[in-house]
A and B are shown apart, each in its own frame.
Chain A
Amino acid sequence: MKMEHDVLHDRVSAVEVKRWRDDFPALREKVHGRRLVYLDNGATTQKPQAVIDAETEYYSHYNANVHRAVHALSERATEAYEAARRKVQRFLNAAESEEIVFVRGTTEAINLVAQSHARPRLEPGDEIVISAMEHHSNIVPWQMVCAQTAAVLKVVPINDAGELELEAYERLVGPRTRLVAITHVSNALGSIVPVAHIIKVAHEREVPVLLDGAQAVSHLPVDVRALDCDFYAFSGHKIFGPTGIGVLYGKRRLLEAMPPYQGGGDMIRSVTFEETQYNEIPYKFEAGTPNIAGVVGLGAALDYVQGIGLDAIAAHEGDLLNHATQEVTAVPGLRIIGTAKEKASILSFTLEGVHPHDIGTILDHQGVAIRAGHHCAMPVMQRYGISGTARASFALYNTRGNVDALVAGLHKVRELFPR
């Protein structure tokens, strides 16, 4: 295991990582007089210059509304907007660009599926299956739709390592299951879920699957056709793109069968007071003037990631995670939360006798930005009987030096809070 990562690591040289770092202006910031060590990538990632430039270029040179006018600027804006859709299609390896719906983020994508796909189909007693390691945004929309339809939420348990209990899952998907909605990578634990197996089991019972890809897309290659998943959601801001833009992928057959999510401009074909005809997919789900700059920026972000390649990114981050996992064990009283065999880029931990917020404040003082708290996954914290964790989450621009700064900071915490 270790061997393999070391071999992979050799392919991503420190020089190369330095070049990637230089693409991100925010990484040059100083906090509390020190060069920023940004390890809160699970919350949001920094943006490369290419993304910042793409947004500026749009606002400076072709700002206009899309799909609405015959003038030149509007045509350029529309072209850029639709080109970005095709980039997302290629990024996810979707069959058609019409299967890509632009939304505000993962949260909105899941709410859209809950309200437009699930709600009209759910009968009292029907079941939605989620897991014990979901982000609140893959819990609450299902609770809401269950309250609206008297459907029932079923939760697949996890083991102490933070791995899905697959036998329990196979038992839970039954004749009343209407949808499985599961995270691809856990934001609180870092566990990579065996989604191909999850989908295979669900499809054997003719149940569609939604994957929450918020924490996955910036760390591992995703191929929705190879996975045969039915819905896939992710947020632009967690993959080096702008905030306020995200993606819902859905199979054409499913999207076409769904009623619109919101009503307004762009989502219609014709309107009279007696009757409105809805537009085709994906426009049916994109009511109102969209986040055009965000879409353009997201396209640039995906170009950036594909320019580097997710295999190289995964190899580099695997090395960082291994290094961090080894080094933190030297901090007395540190316990890693989430020790799944398959993990991506997230190191969640507690420190005996120190609240995560105190860890966060002291690390911040050393210039190290991490997240402390429940990470919008309160049921995960309850599962481990803790109120929260400190979480370091890595991205392509982090270095072994960043990990060492984290570990040095944790030794400082221990010094201030002796056992």
Chain B
Amino acid sequence: MSDLREIYQEVIFDHYRAPRNCRALAGASHKAEGYNPLCGDKVVVYLQIDDGVIRDASFEGVGCAISTAAASLMTEALKGKRVGDVQILFESFHDMVTGAPGVPQALGKLEVLAGVREFPSRVKCATLAWHTVLAALKDQREPVSTE
């Protein structure tokens, strides 16, 4: 049970039960849809970008505890970030959840998702919202898929 608690941490339950920034963003400058064909979960991510800075971020949708908490935590982490820094943040996050070797980046609150690395089949749940943000930044119109 102990290592299950590593993936299902209290913070994750908290963000699953009461997701932050879970709403449509009126006047969003960027928006994209993401889809995980494995489980059928969908997410829409909204960004309000001004002067190269993410002023606001929100999401709607998604399903399991991991993908919902990951989206919620991500929107919190993105607020105030420069657009140019998102890719690097995503890469560090991706390295963390896939357990890639190397010096781990300090990811703050996002680190509660580190336990996902023990559950390879769940990496797509943790990264769905992130892939969707990258698509939003590229102004991609087609829904992105985790496949």
Contacts and interface: CB of A to CB of B under 8 A. Distances in A.
A151 B101 CA distance: 55
B1 A373 contact: no
Nearest to B68: A355
A358 B40 contact: no
Given A361-B7, A387-B63, A356 B122 contact: no
Given A362-B4, A365-B4, A387-B63, A357 B40 contact: no
Nearest to A359: B64
Interface residues of A, number: 18
B64 A358 contact: yes
Nearest to B124: A357
A318 interface: no
Nearest to A418: B13
B119 A373 contact: no
B8 interface: yes
Contacts of A388: 39-40
A372 B4 contact: no
Contact of B63 (A355, A362, A378): A355
A374 interface: yes
Contacts of A355: 39, 41, 63-65
A373 B121 CA distance: 13
Contacts of A226: none
A356 B1 CA distance: 19
A117 B38 CA distance: 32
A72 interface: no
A95 B7 CA distance: 56
B40 A361 contact: no
A361 B63 contact: no
A413 to B, nearest CB: 10
A132 to B, nearest CB: 17
Nearest to B4: A365
Sorting the interface of chain B by its residue count into under 10, 10 to 19, 20 to 34 or 35 or more gives 10 to 19
Contact of B40 (A354, A362, A381): A381
Contact of B8 (A357, A372, A373, A416): A416
B8 A387 contact: no
A203 interface: no
B129 interface: no
Contact of A387 (B4, B7, B40, B122): B40
A272 B40 CA distance: 50
Nearest to B42: A387
B40 A373 contact: yes
B39 A372 contact: yes
Nearest to B116: A361
Contact of B39 (A374, A416, A417): A374
B78 interface: no
Contacts of B64: 355-358
Name which of B4, B63, B119 has the most chain A CB atoms within 10 A of its CB.
Answer: B4
A104 interface: no
Interface of A: 354-358, 361-362, 365, 372-374, 378, 381, 387-388, 412, 416-417
Task: In the A-B complex, list the 3 residue pairs whose CB atoms are closest, starting with the nearest.
Answer: A355-B64, A357-B64, A355-B63
